[in-house]
A = this chain, B = another copy of it.
Amino acid sequence: MVVDEGSEDRVFHALSDATRRDILARVFRDGMSVSALARLYPMSFAAVQKHVAVLEQAGLVTKERRGREQIVHGAPDTLRGAIDGLMDVYERIWRQRAGRIERILEEES
């Protein structure tokens, strides 16, 4: 694995807040400064800053310093990893069903 284990917890926790998911969707479309993001939500700058920090800790976004601004970008690899993890769980039910069908077809009655 590329990233350390236990980070999955942080990734999904980061995704468990609507404001953070909105921030994520926006910065994935186009990078934005922290203060530009802060203007979008009915909460203090510090609160938005904390949300960005949670996303950054989870590895879902990166920050790029540009002048006195900090531009937030989406990090595709981590998000891709989360999707892959869920897909693995999701696919189990189909593998399991396929196995059952197979066993039925193998029956010699």
Interface residues of A (CB under 8 A from B): 6, 8-13, 15-18, 21, 24-25, 28-30, 74, 76, 79-80, 82-83, 85-90, 92-93, 95-96
Contact = CB atoms under 8 A, between A and B. Distances in A.
A86 B89 contact: no
A76 B29 CA distance: 29
A74 B86 contact: no
What is the interface of chain A mostly: helix, strand, loop, or mixed?
helix
A15 B12 contact: yes
A12 B10 CA distance: 11
A75 to B, nearest CB: 10
A79 B89 contact: yes
A74 B87 contact: no
A56 B25 CA distance: 27
A86 B79 contact: yes
15 contacts: A9-B18, A12-B12, A12-B13, A12-B21, A13-B13, A13-B16, A15-B86, A21-B85, A21-B89, A25-B89, A25-B92, A28-B90, A29-B92, A74-B93, A83-B86
